[in-house]
Each structure stands twice: as C-alpha cells, then as structure tokens.
A and B are shown apart, each in its own frame.
Chain A
Amino acid sequence: MAACRVSPVPPLQWFGATYVELFRNAPLSVLMLLFVFGLTKAGVGPYSFFASAIVVLSIYTSAFLAETFRAGINTVAAGQAEAARAIGLTFPQTLGIVVFPQALRTVVGPIGNLFIALIKNSSIASVISVLELSKRSNLLIDQQGVSPIPVFLGAAVAYLILTLPSGFLVGYVERKVSIKR
C-alpha cells in the first residue's frame, strides 16, 4: 500500500490513498460488523467469527502501517532514489533494494507501536462474538459471579504479558538496525 502511494502511477496512488483513508478512518467495531454481516448479504461467506476478526484487524492495521512506511520512505533522501534510477534500476527495484531498507530503520519504533495497538485492538473482536481476553473476562464476571476488579486486573496483566515483550523486541530491533552516529 505504501508503495502504491509513492508510486509514479496515478491510479495506484489513488487506490492506495482510498484504501488508507477508508480503513484507518472507520471505527474498527463498525468494520468488523460490516465484514461479518455485510458480506453475507452480498452472498459471500459466512466466514467464522475468528477468521473474520483476523482479516479485519489485518486490513485495519495495514492502513496504519502503510502510512507509517510512507512517512519512512519520505525520510530517505531523494538523491538515493535518483541515483538508483540513474544506474538503471526499475521503480520496484529502487524501492525494494535501495529506499525501503533505509526507510525501515526510521519506522521500527512506530511499527512497534502499531503492533501493540493491534494486540489491544483484538479486544474489539468481542463485538462479533469472538471469545477473546476482554469478553472472557466479562463472562467470568457476569456468569461465574467473580468480583470484577481482580478479573480486570488479571486481564490487564495478561495484556501486559503480550505487549511488554513486543515492546522489548522492538527496542532490540531498533538498536540493531540503527546507524551509529
């Protein structure tokens, strides 16, 4: 998607821009409900709730990822791309071999952010009946009569167990790819 948005072909640019604006501006819960109940009206599916949640989370997060990558690509000095084109590389080659690896370096941190957001966004899947962490916590409270505060604390810790290592991993990769200045 990021490649689309920086490509020299206008239709590809429009496609990339439409995709990004559509999916990053719609609320995640609305996207999920539309995917689950809208597609069947169009004669597609039904897919399982779990698969639907994964697909929608991917579409949604990829819109944010595309914007992050685009920002990263824009930080790479224009001379790099010009030089690559000058020695005869095609646009995909320029992007893939020269620009993108340099862009990646600057966007590792923001991508880590998005990954953590993705883990937490999975709680929205409860609206389409996926038994994820939040919904299970609520069921414990509603049906087993467990008092709410310990359950919520437990859920928070469980999210931390997933997100904290992701944060550390991102920090590690960031140090690994950074240029010594």
Chain B
Amino acid sequence: MNRPTTRGRWPLAALLLILALIAGACGGDDDEPTVGANAEPPATKPTFPQGTAMAALQTKGKLTVGTKFDQPLFGLKNPVTNKVEGFDVEIAKIVAQAIFGGTLAEAESKIEFVETVSANREPFIQEGKVDMVVATYTINNARKERVDFAGPYYIAGQDILVKSGDTSIKSVTDLNGKKVCSVTGSTSINNVKEKAPQSDISTSFGTYSLCVEALADGRVQAVTTDDIILLGFIADNPGKYQLVKAPFTTENYGIGMKRGDDAFRTFINDTLEKSYGNGAWKKAFEDTVGKSGQQAPQPPKVDRYTAGAAAGSSTTTTSTTVR
C-alpha cells in the first residue's frame, strides 16, 4: 500500500497552487509605465497651442489609452511579450504619433495601455483614468450623453460564419429554414429571430467556440454574432470557415474621450482622416484584422457631430446642453 505517500503529496500540491495564485496576482502589476518624461524629442515633433489637451499630453510625455485586453484582432494582450496587440492598438499608435511625432514604434512607447472592459469605459473616461478609449467602442446616443466620440474608425456589425465554400447563405434572410447557432441569451440570437423568423435557433451554447465546433460537425449551417468575433475564429482556423460579409446590424467603433473638449476631438478626427488618406489606416488594418484573410474595407466617414446635439435629444440633461 502506498497510501501514506499519496497523502503526503497533497500539502505540496496545495502549496504549489497557492504559489501559483500569488504569482498570478502579482503578474498584473508588472506593466507600470516606464516612459521617461524627458524622452528625446523627435525631429518632427508637432507643436500645439498652449492650453490644448494635445500640448498637455506632449508635456506629460505619456498618453493613457483604455483598450480591451481580451478581444482577438482588436486588443489582445500577448502573454509572451506582455504587449497589447490589435487594430485598436494600431489606431492608438497613429493618434500618439500625431501628438508626439517620431515613428509609430516610438509613439507606442509613449502609450500606457489600461485594460477597459465594456462596463467600465465611460467611468474610466469620466474619472480621467484614461485620456481616450479605443476598445471596440460602439458609438450610440446613450453613450454620447456621457462621453464624446471621435471617428468612427471602423464599422462592425453582426455577420454570419459558414463553412468554406458554402454559397447557400448570402444574407441574413437566407437563414430562414437553416440551423443557426449563437450564445444562449445573446442579443445576436434576438437579432436573427427578428430578421429571419423561420430560422432554427434551437442550438445554442455557452460560448461561441462551441458554436463553431457545431458548425464544423455539420450540426448547424451558420454561426452568427459580431463580425469581429467571427473573424477571430477564421484567423484561428485558416481555410475552414468564411464570413458571409452581409452585416445586418451596424456598430460604429469610435474613440471615446472626455466630454466637451472639441479641440481634442477635432484633432483626433483630423488624425484619423489623415490616416485614411496616407495609407496608415489601411496598413494598421492589414497588420491586424487583415491577418484573418479580410481585405481592408473603405475607411468609414468621420462623424463630426456637434456634442450638444446628441444630448439635445434627451431634454433632461440640461447641464450638457448649455454649451
């Protein structure tokens, strides 16, 4: 009988588990900013009028950007390099370059990325924890009452994932009579129910990866949710799946910032438009989302809305309509 030795290992296993937990907890604090305020100014350093946010950021030498750390292709923290990678990151780099000058790589060294999840983006902006948020951040009127948006810099939407070579589904209405999978209780399912009432939505799982497994096994003919999530699956399984490319909802991704700083917003909108013109936007797309086999689309038109107008739709927010 070797019972006693088996029992003797348990405290060791428990100790290892505790150590692992401690190591995991400490790991999160490693990404402190290492940027010195007196970094060598590049030759092409732009100048801004005193008192603008751009001038203040330049003096500070650091741009704090909220982004997602868990969104493949857009903002994903690489566990090996500890760097955040994706299209949102590239957009932030383009903005940082416009503020600090120099190369994109130099601009990246001036950015401090802070993880923002969907629920904390507005509070982080309002409390000044971040200078801006580039985090698959959909522009909508409710949010416009709390923060301002530059952009959009990308238009996402709910799309359909099918097996490669499947041409029977060309739009959402083709889902009628077909088996479609999405995550249990998601808004994606409700959208399909609305647009294709005859589709069979009885198959649903807790995660999208199981839906994709069901698609691979032929249990369903399509998986539907936001295209950026679907693109991640295409990138992970090259050649197996394709996007129908007929989005039936519209999500305009914008850059969120503190309300009321129109000069800063105009500056970022100008920067975005410049990047559309000089190919920087296209390169940012091809280096990130494009790796999933997507061609770079036409960049979206920047929406220079008047900040008061959005809040004006709801007459109760008097403090913001004064301007």
Report A's interface with B, CB cutoff 8 A: 33, 37, 40, 45-46, 49, 126-129, 131, 135, 138-139, 142-143
**Given A46-B218, A138-B185, A143-B185, CB of A131 within 8 Å of CB of B202:** yes
- The verdict on B203 contacting chain A, using a C-beta distance below 8 Å, is yes
User: Which residues of chain A come closer than 8 Å to B184, judged between CB atoms?
Assistant: 126, 135, 138-139, 142
Q: Among residues 166 to 224 in chain B, which have CB atoms less than 8 Å away from a CB atom of chain A?
A: 181, 184-185, 189-190, 202-206, 210, 213-214, 216-219
**Given A33-B210, A142-B185, A143-B185, CB of A46 within 8 Å of CB of B217:** yes
A33 to B217 alpha-carbon distance, docked (Å): 13
For chain B, the bracket of interface size reads 10 to 19
**Given A37-B210, A129-B203, A131-B202, CB of A46 within 8 Å of CB of B219:** yes
User: Which residues of chain A come closer than 8 Å to B203, judged between CB atoms?
Assistant: 49, 129
Please state if B213 and A129 are interface contacts (CB–CB under 8 Å): no
Could you write out 6 A-B pairs with CB less than 8 Å apart? A37-B213, A46-B217, A46-B219, A138-B184, A139-B185, A143-B190
Binding site secondary structure of chain A = helix
A173 to B97 alpha-carbon distance, docked (Å): 80
User: Which residues of chain A come closer than 8 Å to B219, judged between CB atoms?
Assistant: 46, 49
A46 to B217 alpha-carbon distance, docked (Å): 7
User: Which residues of chain A come closer than 8 Å to B189, judged between CB atoms?
Assistant: 143
Q: Name the distance in Å between A52's Cβ and chain B's nearest Cβ.
A: 11
A128 to B184 alpha-carbon distance, docked (Å): 11
User: Which residues of chain B come closer than 8 Å to A135, judged between CB atoms?
Assistant: 184
Please state if A127 and B185 are interface contacts (CB–CB under 8 Å): no
A33 to B202 alpha-carbon distance, docked (Å): 17
A46 to B215 alpha-carbon distance, docked (Å): 12
A131 to B205 alpha-carbon distance, docked (Å): 11
**Given A138-B184, A142-B184, A143-B185, CB of A127 within 8 Å of CB of B205:** yes
Output the nearest chain A residue to B218 by Cβ-Cβ distance.
Answer: A46
User: Which residues of chain B come closer than 8 Å to A128, judged between CB atoms?
Assistant: 205
Q: Name the distance in Å between B303's Cβ and chain A's nearest Cβ.
A: 32
Q: Name the distance in Å between B145's Cβ and chain A's nearest Cβ.
A: 24
Please state if A37 and B217 are interface contacts (CB–CB under 8 Å): yes
Please state if B185 and A129 are interface contacts (CB–CB under 8 Å): no
Q: A46-B219, A49-B203, A135-B184 are in contact. List 14 more A-B contacts (CB 8 A).
A: A37-B210, A37-B217, A46-B218, A49-B219, A127-B205, A128-B205, A129-B181, A129-B202, A129-B203, A129-B205, A131-B202, A142-B185, A143-B189, A143-B190
